[in-house]
């Protein structure tokens, strides 16, 4: 077999790593059992290993548990493969099966089982018998390691089953190929007035105080290019450096210190996936995804969409009277040092309603709930925030008229109803008012 074929076999083999773990385990336990026999089973006192009866019970429990854990790992791996094939792409299966951590977990659990069984065979007698102490210590060590690996495997599997985890799996491996074949050119540079991102990732957190302090020391203004939550590709501009128009640097003959890109980028955290830490729009995005997916085929569940609209309405109502961040950050002297783009009121309204309106124009529950939310928001939003709401009402009216031909259906679909169909003016009746006389 040529070297190229052998290397390909090692990289793609599904059973080589587990089998190597089993062989290594057998060799190690044979060695420890030989040491135990050579020392007449007195190397490790029974105060640590327990009596032969205790050792037999412990080793039997270890062996049983390892069979269950190995089954669990294999089951989770197969579930991940099935989900990936059905929901994403059959071509991603190879990457999942070649996952080294899963293979290592299978190999470790199988090795622990094998070592426990071989050690169990060497336990002699009952209370006054012999126990291979060194081999028992090896079993304890392997069992403890297996428990740690089990916890890590559960976390690894849960992360790998996410769509973001599968995308990152393919993306990271492809990026490694580019670096391996074409060289690893540095991307963190201060080319002119820009500081680039070293690695790809979503902007999840910014240490604004540290960036303001750095800009103050350098006597400049920093501009954060992406918005919180944006995906930044490797080498793309992360920050722009602007000279301070009111700068007095050089007046005393000492120029301001130059910014070091590595010191600046460490205050900007890029993660593999968006998080809620500082990203309010991500919460909107999740609710909108649930709402749109619920009314799509084959789910066809507008009631779930109405539930998502409840929370979107609540979030927008809480934001309507409140001021939104300006994106300007000043130092202790009141000088502007950091600029960042933020989502506007119009942006939040569009994020909350645009996709749901387009996808649910033919669903009466959805349109009625949208109309109710917009009518309520118009009652609490200040005058300068009315235009986005009016725009949504106009677009809603046009979308419903395209979906229905009968005017009565149009009227029903545009009637505000906080429950979709259940509490609107056309489906409820108020009790008649009656005069009440009070007699003493």
Q: Name residue 28's beta-bridge partners.
A: none
Residue 248: pLDDT above 80?
no
Query: Are the CB atoms for 308 and 363 separated by under 8 Å?
Result: no
Pick 174 or 5 by higher pLDDT: 174
Alpha helices in 189-301 (DSSP H): 208-218, 261-265, 280-295
Q: Give the pLDDT score at 10.
A: 64
What's the order of all strands across the beta sheet hosting 237-243? 194-196, 237-243, 220-224, 336-340, 328-330
Tens of pLDDT, residue by residue over 368-391, are 999 999 999 999 999 999 999 999
Chain centre distance of CA 48: 44
Q: How many CA atoms lie within 13 A of 246 on its CB side?
A: 7
Pick 40 or 374 by higher pLDDT: 374
Going by C-alpha positions, the residue among 262, 7, 48 that lies closest to residue 140 is 48
Determine whether 142 is exposed, middle or buried from the number of CB atoms within 10 Å of its CB (0-12, 13-18, 19+): buried
DSSP character string of 106-140 = HHHHHHHHHHHHHHHTT-BSSSSSB--HHHHHHHH
The β-bridge relationship of strands 336-340 and 220-224 is parallel
Residue 186: pLDDT above 60?
no
Tens of pLDDT, residue by residue over 133-160, are 999 999 999 999 999 998 898 888 777 6
Q: What is the mean pLDDT of the chain?
A: 85
pTM, two decimals, is: 0.74
Residue 191: pLDDT above 50?
no
Encode burial over 322-331: b for 16+ CB neighbours within 10 A, e otherwise. Answer: eeeeeeebee
Going by pLDDT thresholds of 50, 70 and 90, the confidence category of residue 96 is low
Going by C-alpha positions, the residue among 15, 21, 20, 16 that lies closest to residue 111 is 21
Determine whether 5 is exposed, middle or buried from the number of CB atoms within 10 Å of its CB (0-12, 13-18, 19+): exposed
Residue 251: pLDDT above 50?
no
Pick 182 or 411 by higher pLDDT: 411
Q: How many CA atoms lie within 13 A of 273 on its CB side?
A: 13
Give the N- to C-terminal CA distance of the chain in Å, as an integer. 109
Which tokens hold the place of 269?
A: 């955290």
| Residue 299: C-alpha distances to residues 85, 120, 363 (Å) | 20, 54, 13
Tens of pLDDT, residue by residue over 306-329, are 999 999 999 999 999 999 999 999
Tens of pLDDT, residue by residue over 110-137, are 999 999 999 998 888 776 778 899 999 9
Strand positions, DSSP E, 152-257: 194-196, 201-206, 220-224, 231-232, 237-243
Query: Are the CB atoms for 359 and 295 separated by under 8 Å?
Result: yes
Q: Give the pLDDT score at 61.
A: 92
């Amino acid at each position: 077999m040529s070297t190229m074929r052998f290397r390909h076999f090692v990289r793609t083999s599904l059973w080589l790593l587990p089998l190597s773990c089993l062989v290594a385990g057998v060799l190690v336990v044979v060695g420890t059992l030989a040491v135990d026999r050579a020392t007449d089973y007195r190397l490790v006192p029974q105060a640590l290993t327990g009596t032969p009866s205790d050792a037999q019970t412990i080793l039997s429990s270890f062996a049983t548990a390892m069979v269950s854990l190995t089954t669990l790992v294999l089951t989770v791996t197969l579930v991940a493969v099935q989900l990936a094939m059905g929901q994403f792409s059959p071509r991603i299966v190879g990457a999942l099966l070649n996952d080294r951590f899963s293979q290592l977990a299978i190999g470790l659990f199988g090795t622990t089982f094998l070592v426990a069984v071989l050690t169990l065979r060497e336990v002699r007698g009952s209370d006054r018998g012999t126990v291979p102490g060194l081999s028992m210590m090896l079993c304890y060590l392997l069992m403890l390691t297996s428990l740690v690996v089990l916890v890590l495997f559960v976390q690894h599997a849960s992360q790998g089953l996410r769509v973001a985890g599968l995308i990152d799996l393919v993306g990271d491996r492809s990026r490694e190929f580019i670096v391996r074949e074409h060289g690893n050119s540095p991307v963190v540079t201060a080319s002119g007035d820009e500081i680039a991102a070293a690695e790809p990732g979503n902007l999840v957190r910014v240490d604004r105080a540290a960036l303001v302090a750095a800009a103050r020391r350098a006597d400049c203004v920093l501009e954060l290019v992406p918005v919180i939550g944006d995906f930044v590709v490797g080498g793309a501009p992360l920050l722009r450096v602007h000279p301070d128009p009111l700068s007095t640097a050089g007046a005393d003959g000492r120029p301001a210190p130059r910014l070091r890109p590595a010191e600046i980028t460490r205050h900007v955290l890029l993660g593999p996936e968006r998080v809620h830490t500082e990203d309010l729009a991500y919460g909107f995005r999740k609710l909108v995804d649930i709402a749109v997916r619920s009314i799509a085929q084959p789910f066809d569940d507008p009631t779930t969409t109405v539930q998502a609209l409840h929370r979107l309405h609540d979030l927008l109502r809480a934001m309507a009277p409140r001021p939104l961040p300006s994106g300007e950050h000043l130092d202790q002297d009141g000088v502007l040092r950091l600029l960042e783009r933020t989502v506007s009121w119009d942006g939040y309204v569009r994020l909350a309603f645009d996709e749901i309106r387009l996808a649910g124009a033919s669903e009466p529950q959805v349109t009625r709930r949208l109309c109710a939310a917009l009518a309520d928001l118009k009652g609490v939003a200040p005058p300068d925030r009315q235009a986005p709401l009016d725009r949504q009402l106009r677009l809603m009216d046009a979308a419903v008229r395209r979906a229905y031909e009968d005017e009565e259906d149009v009227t029903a679909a545009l009637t505000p109803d906080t429950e979709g169909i259940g509490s609107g003016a056309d489906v409820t009746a108020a009790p008649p008012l009656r005069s009440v006389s009070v007699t003493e």
